[in-house]
Amino acid sequence: MTTPASSGCPFHGPSSGSAQTASLTRRPSLPPQPPQTVQRGDDGVYYVGSFDLSRQILRSEDVTQAGFMAESATETGMLGRPPVLYAEGEHHHEMRRATARYFTPKHVAEYQPFIAALADDLIAELWQGGEQNLDDLSLKLAVRVAAQVIGLTDSAVPGMERRITHFVESGGDGNPVSTNQLSPARGLLMQGHTLNFFLLDVKPAIARRRRDPQDDLISYLLERGYSDLEILTECLTYGTAGMVTTREFISAAAWHLLHDAELRGRYLHAPEQERFAVLHEILRLEPVVTQLFRRVQRELEVGGVTIPAGSVVALNVQQANVDQAVVGEDAEALCPHRPLPRGVQDPVLSFGDGHHRCPGAFLAIRESDVFLRRLLIWRDLELRRDPSVGYNEVIKGYELRGLRVRFAGSAA
């Protein structure tokens, strides 16, 4: 068990500990679990809300991915190799080792000029338009940056970001025991969106890299002999798990920083390490994926409860991230550089843990920082409208829409 963190918020801004620094996206439909307990629900799912127990499960070799369409993607038998998001065992470890180089701090730094130029273009677009939804700009940024890493840079027609979001929006419930599955009509619609994405985005990228391999994921997969279908599935999982979640986090971070002038000033004028600490703390309070699922493969003892093989475990990330035994008594406040026990990272469980921890964590924070700092440094940037908060059942995360911003002195 972790050693409890000391209480007391190191950020003593005027809004510290107020409702303004608390989560803006908290999902009330996820009831909190009693600390350090495992509870079996009426649906047969075992629910966990503590940090220690959640991390124990995430690091166990006796559980596998569940939710986020994991089992439907691996049960069809059409894929010779499951995508890395769902793979287990040695195949998963090998893929993570081989692709880790695309997400190391050194490799991500090579994308910095591209991210900065793209951010400047998007900010110029906002300036020319006068007023826009920040969530639309963050979508363009997240998709284009991830596309560079994956190799999706040769689309037949523009609009890949919409094709990605259509795929996510047409998906079913990410809960592996949910009875709210896709209707035949929605299933056909999802297949249509998938086909569009393949024909317009993935297939042109594959054709280009067969002729001229690049230093990206698709080129690596071709080198390993992956089929077009297997590459499509990898692109879909990276697209939905990476592009969509980064979009939401950028919007959530901007929402916090636009609401709190002191926090915004501290962030803008701090060195990189401190800026990252601010973003990590916002992510702790606003985990994009609020719930993770695992399926137990062998009987598992957790928190004094024996979980039978075949059972599904639901981990409440938003509760684990405010576990007072780990983050202190001021768990609901936004406190960059809060004291944490050794071995606990600043975002706590927002990027997951164990062998399925998000591989693109550093890239997501880096691109968020580049964009937000270049945008928020403009003093005449105004928040015109707070976003609506919805939830995507595929990724079990929030959706922020209509976060309206403008430049007071823009050209429009």
Helix, strand or coil, per DSSP, at residue 314: strand
List residues bridging with 312 in a β-sheet. Answer: 295
Please tell me the distance from the alpha carbon of residue 392 to that of residue 174, in angstroms, as a whole number.
9
Give the model confidence (pLDDT) of 51-81 as tens digits: 999 999 999 999 988 866 555 555 544 445 6
What strands lie across the sheet with 291-296, from one edge to the other?
Answer: 38-40, 46-48, 312-316, 291-296, 63-66
- Cβ-Cβ contacts under 8 Å for 71 (sequence gap 6 or more): 176, 295
**Residue whose entry in the numeric block shows the structure tokens 């059972």:** 311
Give the model's pLDDT for residue 18: 43
Q: Which phi and psi angles does 38 have, rounded to 5°?
A: -120, 125
What's the CA gap between 333 and 56, in Å, rounded? 26
What's the rounded Cα separation, in Å, for the pair 264 and 253?
10
- Given a contact cutoff of 8 angstroms between Cβ atoms, the answer to whether 51 and 284 are in contact is no
Query: Could you read off the pLDDT of 156-186 as tens digits, one per residue?
Result: 999 998 888 877 776 555 566 655 555 666 6
Query: What is the pLDDT at residue 178?
Result: 57
By residue count, the chain amounts to 412
CA pair distance 109, 189, nearest whole angstrom: 38
Indicate if the pLDDT at residue 85 is higher than 50.
yes
The reply to whether CATH 2.40.50.100 applies to domain 19-407 is no
Q: What is the pLDDT of residue 78?
A: 46
Give the pLDDT of residue 358.
86
